[in-house]
Structure 1
């Protein structure tokens, strides 16, 4: 909730800088209307005192003072009324309802008493919770801008990065050596006559050795009965 001093300070700042594009909460609006009422009362007091001088200069000064104070208070009231409509997410043109006698004034009073939209709307951040989290205190300045959206260039680069296929390294496969057909293998060489002549003596020696073993076998068998008889 905005204090009276803070509301008057902020409202005066809005009026001096013609800042009608933001939002004003209910407490800020009604506290400032109270400040306008006090200022108007003070101005009327001065006007009445000057007018009581009963001179031509007094009439001129009181009329000029009343004109200036009325114009300033009306201007400030319009600025705050538009900002209050913005807090309801409504355009400032709705202030023209005041031109409708009685019904328009009642409708505007109801709108000014209603709570504003929560969070950020098209006219700016929430004047009570500028950070949008529902817990940040009001800092008295309603000029907080929303977070800047991503630029089209950055969005396009991110999209292209996500859509780009991953290049795979080619797998090198070594060619396998072709199998040599059996028909291409050269046949084993036939033995030459010289090699055959060298093998003949070996065969004769083996045959003679076999005959000798065959002759010794009967003699050993004949000696076996003699050995048994002696025992």
Structure 2
């Protein structure tokens, strides 16, 4: 559960690496949050009996956009790709598929030019203090 909210703690941190677990759990959080925001907007439309700007959805999107972009860049760093690969997502269909493949790849073993492998630290057992 900690991985789901880790990108919010690193709100605009583009350095370092993000594990698949961190990326996908945060993506799940964003999807659930957007679903709830859409429901709230739908209820507001019903209650106001007219067209209403989807204020809650837009606000959620604005708040979550920077951390989602940052965790995407860190995820690319984890597979030893530069963060500029995010720009390929602007190409319809093909760009999204390329980013999906990169997001699904396993972490590069050991350290790379973007830092130490976060998976290695998480898999080590805790050392008891003497």
Same-fold call, TM cutoff 0.5: yes
The corresponding residue for 1:175 is none
1:19-98 aligned within 5 A: 19-54=13-48, 59=52, 62-98=53-89
Deviation (angstroms), 1:75: 2.5
Q: Is the 8 A contact 1:128 1:137 kept in 2?
A: no
Partner of 2:113: 122
Aligned residue among 89, 95, 98 for 1:104: 95
Choose 1 or 2 for highest CA Rg.
1
Match of 2:5 in 1: 9
Q: Which runs of 4+ in 1 moved over 3 A?
A: none
More helix per residue: 1 or 2?
Answer: 2
The CA distance in 2 between the partners of 1:63 and 1:39, in whole Å, is 14
SS at match of 1:41: helix
1:52/1:137 CA distance change after superposition, 3 Å: farther
Alignment check: 8 A CA contact 1:23 1:124 kept:
yes
Shift of 1:83: 0.7
> CA-to-partner distance for each residue in 1:9-50, whole Å, 9 max, x for gaps?
2121112xx112111111111111111111111111111112
Aligned partners of 1:119 and 1:130 also within 8 Å? no
Gaps of 5+ in 1: 139-231
Q: How many residues align?
A: 126
Stretches of structure 2 that go unaligned for 5 or more consecutive residues are none
TM-score, with length taken from structure 1: 0.50
Structure 1 residues 14 and 115: CA distance shift in structure 2, 3 A: same
Structure with the bigger RCO (C-alpha within 8 Å, sep 6+) is 2
Q: TM-score, normalised by structure 2?
A: 0.85
Contact kept in structure 1, 2:34 and 2:57, CA below 8 Å: no
1: distance between equivalents of 2:112 and 2:121? 11
